[in-house]
Amino acid sequence: MPRVSAGLLLYRLARGGLQVLLVHPGGPFFARKDLGAWSIPKGEAEPGEDLLAVALRELAEETGFAAEGSALPLGLIRQAGGKLVHGFAMQGDADPGRLRSNEFELEWPKGSGRRRTFPEVDRAEWFDLDEARRRLNPAQVAFLERLVAELEDRRRA
């Protein structure tokens, strides 16, 4: 059975157009990865758990940021490893310089017997859509496209 996660794509309308907040995973496995490694803040959901509540919780745990307002459902994607991710979007703002992430512990280097603590997220940044497409996990780019389509539909209505 695939793991199920939920995440929140925070967006804002800036002078240059639409921007989205993405996060870079912390820890040694992603330290030298950039393009295609960024993500929306997301985390695993327990069976029966409210997915929007999971997305909001994970935003807070991974960044220290909160979002309020009405959420736009962005549907479901399947990442390369098989994980299913339910996406939501909310308009908001946050200062990446105030990032506060929860941490995890890992034996590092592997086989050394030493345990180290790493932030779950080591960076957050606002990107315009073109740059977000380059940085984002390829499967999650669908969330950007769905957000753009939804905002365009609302603008026309």
Low-confidence ranges of the chain (pLDDT < 50): none
Q: What pLDDT sits at residue 135?
A: 98
Q: What pLDDT sits at residue 15?
A: 86
Task: Concatenate the DSSP letters of all residues of 111-133 into one string.
Answer: TS--EEEEESEEEEEEEEHHHHH
d(CA 115, CA 149): 45
d(CA 63, CA 143): 19
Q: What pLDDT sits at residue 14?
A: 86
Q: What pTM, to 2 d.p., does this model score? A: 0.95
Strand partners of residue 76: 86
Q: What pLDDT sits at residue 16?
A: 84
Strand partners of residue 111: none
Q: How many domains does the chain have?
A: 1
d(CA 52, CA 47): 13
> Minimal CA–CA distance to 97: which of 66, 56, 125, 59?
125
Torsional sign, CA 145, 150, 155, 157: positive
CATH label of the domain that carries residue 37:
3.90.79.10
Q: What pLDDT sits at residue 90?
A: 98
Q: What pLDDT sits at residue 79?
A: 96
d(CA 3, CA 94): 29
Q: What pLDDT sits at residue 77?
A: 98
Please give the residue range of the domain that contains residue 31: 4-156
